[in-house]
Chains A and B, each alone.
Chain A
Amino acid sequence: MWLDRLYTVGIDVGSNSIKTVLMEHDDNGSEAKLLFSDLSKIRKRETKLVAEQSFEQVLSRASLTPDDIAYVATTGEGDMVDFRRGHFYSMTAHSRGAIHLNSAVRSVVDGGAMHGKAFAIDERSKVLTYKMTSQCASGSGQFLENIARYLGIPLEDVGALSKESTSPEMVSGICAVLAETDVINMVSRGISASDILKGIHLSMARRLVGLLRGVSAEGEVMITGGLANDTGFVAAIQEIADSENMNVRFNTHELSIFAGAIGAAIWGAFRHKKLAQSELQHQ
């Protein structure tokens, strides 16, 4: 059946939250428009369930049914989503999403809950090189969340507080779990929350800038993933990059956190057309 409008859904299954977008595409697939988005924290619930709910959420807002969706594309830990049609690897999706949000970017930093990734892309969003953090959560989004919790500060306030810092406390390579002691220690030494947070932002930024250097990033860099919402982190990463004389400018977009989902939805449309064509050829 041919709808005059093509709808696809992209679901980015993160370790922390699930991001779902519904997109509408024009006939030749060159224009894609975001209709609705949903972000659901997993919070110890079953991932699969959260994904389903998130999917239903966006559909109901658009008053669509699953049958109206041409392609459900997952990215991230999409294995859990059994109603997907196809899966794209996260860098493939994030890079596409980043280009969609800002066609000028040539590098992407994806700051997620567990891993940090940096990759260089071309104008078609093809991933040229990439670097990822290792199997240690130190310096990850989760790390930051833990610290915020130990400090008793809501995640939303972290950015503003960090920017108030005047003399950031140096931290590096501390365990995401044992950080609690270090943080309590800093508090008891009379270091302010904003200096602690800024110190942590700087240390996270240093790691990610290291990755970016590894992919020889230059020019416009898009921050995707949840960390893009953290203005303190964004400021810190720019600061570090500048101090190391890197010629990069960091971009964020209010939809940065949805970049993976958006990219997946766009690739979904692309594959859908490819598949439809080859079906036509077969007939």
Chain B
Amino acid sequence: MSTTATESVQKEQSMLLQKDMIADHFRRLGRAKEEGKKVVYTFVPGNLNELILAFDMLPVHPEINALQSAMRKKSAGYIREAEKHGHSEDVCTYVKCDVGMLKSGNIGPTGEKLPEPDLLLLSYTGCFTFMKWFEILRKEYNDCATVMLHVPYQGDGAITEEARAYVVKQLREVLVPQLERISGRKLDHDRLEELLASSARAEEDLVSILESAKQKPSPIDAYFGGVYYIGPIFTAFRGRESCEEYYQVLRSEVEERIRMKSGPITPEGPMHNEQYRLVVEGPPNWTSFREFWKMFYDESAVVVASSYTKVGGIYDTGFRHDARQPFESLADYCLGCYTNLNLPSRIDLLEKYINEYEADGFLINSIKSCNSFSAGQLLILNELEKRTGKAGGFIESDLVDPRYFSAANIKNRLESYFQMVDAKRQNRHTPSSRERA
């Protein structure tokens, strides 16, 4: 009795906090133009939030807008709109959702119109589509000022000195001058360092939260729940006080759940009897997010680790933003985000998760939109099966295009998958005709 009561209270606190933070951010965006604040559009993976905040600019993340649109069931219309303007049905639907939203009046998730960008900060990290995306936006916003940060790929599985130097140099010689020009102020180094220090503190808490899934039962769902947990740190809030506070609250909630030995909280209610522990690779589907989650809830399946919660940046292998070397740590952050890892490194990381989080199996949600994630996932599946001996599952959907989410199909596959995990765990012996004869 009392547990459920506390659970619901706790749930409300961190969630409400996040809700307020987001609402506040969009309110500020809504007032940006009249208050003379400059708006920077930029991408989530390896983003430079601290740098943007140091110039007192406001970031907008088109990917977040796209996923919010999907959750509010607007994406289908936006995508159609973009396709009407000549965008192919084959390409990343995030882009189309964003373009469609723009063409439909640029109304953001809170129903307010989003301010137009003063700068497009194209941090070209882990995905080629980003480049095209901002080239498209640049045209849409009348040749809006655009600055490119080229972040090399970890082709050989490591961050090279040259790559780091290249990024640092671009930060210093291209980004900062451009940000100074647009914002009309000099970079405040002290402010940047403060922000980075705050980031590091929040990151510490986040890692502890993500790693809490090593407990049995896991107090969190590191995929469906995880996407909420990474919200603040991967977007406009990292470096801010509110972000630190959010993670403190969340961490204490999680710790309380560990003490109570209770499972994650889901939209269907708290999960009680953890049956399957899974590692998930790939982004979720946003259009049917709850339905998707419920399929796991119904089977009492908990995701204990996921790669998607590392898209912004990977913290659990030790990286922290570092006020002592601001540009170097920003560069490392960009260079280190999940989709900037080469395939062998991605497999190593997933393997590590499967082992460390004592998963029963792993599942790949392959996203039609996203070549960056998806190309090669079938090999990942095979490799992981080979290395871990755990059951691997493969389902296909899309981020924001509801046409590519077939609930029946996914359910069918999941059902088979869970039965497969079961069978594997029990390893029952079935007589064959030969043995009987």
Contacts and interface: CB of A to CB of B under 8 A. Distances in A.
A216 interface: yes
B28 to A, nearest CB: 35
B7 interface: no
Chief secondary structure at chain A's binding surface: helix
Contacts of B255: none
A100 interface: no
B194 interface: no
B83 interface: yes
Interface string B67-82: 0000000000000100
A152 B80 CA distance: 36
Nearest to A129: B86
A86 interface: no
A251 B84 CA distance: 23
Nearest to A172: B403
A84 interface: no
Interface residues of B, number: 3
Contacts of A273: none
Interface residues of A, number: 4
B288 to A, nearest CB: 16
Contacts of A213: 80, 84
A216 B80 CA distance: 12
A263 B347 CA distance: 60
Contacts of B84: 213-214, 216
B72 to A, nearest CB: 20
Contacts, number: 6
A213 B83 CA distance: 10
Contacts of A216: 84
Nearest to A173: B403
Interface string B129-153: 0000000000000000000000000
Interface string A193-225: 000000000000000001001101000000000
B27 to A, nearest CB: 32
A216 B84 CA distance: 8
Contacts of B80: 210, 213
A216 to B, nearest CB: 7
A216 B81 CA distance: 11
A214 B80 CA distance: 9
A241 to B, nearest CB: 14
Interface string A36-75: 0000000000000000000000000000000000000000
A31 to B, nearest CB: 38
A211 to B, nearest CB: 11
A227 to B, nearest CB: 23
Interface in A1-52: none
A274 B84 CA distance: 38
Interface in B43-100: 80, 83-84
Interface string B17-61: 000000000000000000000000000000000000000000000
Contacts of B83: 214
A214 B86 CA distance: 8
A216 B83 CA distance: 12
Nearest to A216: B84
Contacts of A210: 80
A210 B84 CA distance: 9
A206 B295 CA distance: 30
A170 to B, nearest CB: 14
A214 B89 CA distance: 12
Interface in B363-385: none
A210 B80 CA distance: 9
Nearest to B89: A134
B79 to A, nearest CB: 12
A186 to B, nearest CB: 16
A216 B85 CA distance: 9
A213 B84 CA distance: 7
A133 to B, nearest CB: 12
B397 to A, nearest CB: 15
A83 B372 CA distance: 53
A212 to B, nearest CB: 10
Nearest to B81: A213
B67 to A, nearest CB: 24
B316 to A, nearest CB: 41
Interface string A251-270: 00000000000000000000
A149 B96 CA distance: 40
A161 B239 CA distance: 65
A80 B80 CA distance: 38
Interface string A139-163: 0000000000000000000000000
B293 to A, nearest CB: 24
A178 to B, nearest CB: 14
Nearest to A215: B84
Nearest to A210: B80
Contacts of A214: 83-84
A210 B77 CA distance: 12
Interface of B: 80, 83-84
6 contacts: A210-B80, A213-B80, A213-B84, A214-B83, A214-B84, A216-B84
Interface of A: 210, 213-214, 216
Which 6 pairs show the lowest CB-CB distances between chains A and B?
Answer: A213-B84, A214-B84, A214-B83, A216-B84, A213-B80, A210-B80
